[in-house]
Structure 1
Amino acid sequence: MTTQTPTRMPVLYLSHGAPPLADDATWTGELQRWGADLPRPKSILVVSAHWESAPLAVGATDRVPLTYDFGGFPQHYYEVTYDAPGAPELAADVAKLFAQPGQPVYQDPDRGLDHGAYVPLKEMFPEADVPVLQVSMPTLDPSQLFQLGRALAPLRDEGVLIVGSGFTTHNVREGVADVNGAAPQWGHEFDLWAKETVEAGDIDSVLDFQRTAPAALRAHPRSEHFAPLFVSLGATADVGVQATSTVDGFWHGMAKRSFQFN
């Protein structure tokens, strides 16, 4: 009997949106097609903008309720389910990569997937039959998150799909589309910069986006939704960044730009 070698998996950065983005037929169709085109992963590791915790923490490895980390929405958004298997083997691998004397990897067995994980995965892997593990962002420092991604990179050769889940622009106060549905000019400028810079593999400029990108502080008054991109970049940097923009356009004035790294 021969054992099949896992495929070296790509790395994703996707704009996950608020729960109502799942009602947008354009976006859900884009994610469904994207998921269908991906090689089937052995498991999925998600770094979401909605879980900041230091030191590095891993979420539930058993089936537990989802984390509905939002408020003020209609009741049906709190009834969404995504019953994917846990990934205890992947959690153990993450612990081996990061645990050091005096620097443990924190276990949070009751924390279910938050909407940065389950909203897009429900579209991309609708059967919920791929084990999923969520890990925290222990910092917002771009260089440290890039190194986190580099440390996770070997998991790609074990069939693990690494997903950074954020939003390419995220300014709820200023970014909402105007009455004609148009996104703000600064949002377009930042989005175009992100596409060109990421696809060019200019890691230094992306990590230093607050100084190199147009309207950086308007696009991201706080950087947590852009930060998962740094993890995704780090996870692919060892072989050279080869990025393709997979989703574009705007939703309520915010850029849905997403990337696949091979």
Structure 2
Amino acid sequence: MLIGHQFHVIDPSEVCSFTAHSDALSVNIGTLTSAQKDAITAAVQSAVEADIPWVLDPVAVGQALPFRSQFAVELINQWHPTAIRANGSEVMALATMLKQPSGGKIGTDICGKGPDSKVESAAAIGHAKDLALCSGSVVAMTGKDDFIVDPSCPSLMTQLDNGHPLMTKVTGIGCALSASVAAFLALAKSDEHKRRIACLTALAVSSVAGELAAAESRGPGTFAVAYLDKLASISEDDLEKRLKILN
């Protein structure tokens, strides 16, 4: 809402019809249940059939959580997300599982703890490229540095060197970012060439807003409020002055 889009969380009984009339879908498996699994599958199917972009946020996938991990793999293999927004551990886990569909084990050194990553994003670049190729999705990998990998040309990787450590201290920023990716993908519509730019824009807005908010904050509490304010007021000039993009 702060970046000019509307979002809705709806009852499973309405998920198919509601998704078909939406501009984008964001799927977050952070609190996955059996009932939600069925509703998510129906929503994703509706999005794909209506040619609506959809984003997968594979929260905490890895060896310790087989229910959500297998579901994430099923979604990717069957419905091919437009984009996957994940941290380094999640990217490494997904890439490993997709390359070993029979259930190969994932080393505990790459499994995150809840939504937190044990792996810096820069250490998972190779896995991000593998994930993009296996899934056909734009991979938006976030962490200390952010990376965008386009499946049509994995060697054309874009790195963002923005953001602030306080962003990791506030619960929900990553989930909100995935929703922002979906919002910007809605603007790209079915133009595959614009999808990488849409993901890049979402990450840029969030990370620069984080920098601006941190400059006015005393800690995580004041940062959370300031971050929302900066998302609502960020300007093109703010992005031009602060954005650090490396190719």
TM-score, scaled relative to structure 2: 0.27
The answer to which structure, 1 or 2, has the higher relative contact order (CA under 8 A, 6+ apart) is: 1
TM-score, scaled relative to structure 1: 0.26
Q: Which has the higher helix share?
A: 2
Q: Which has the higher strand share?
A: 1
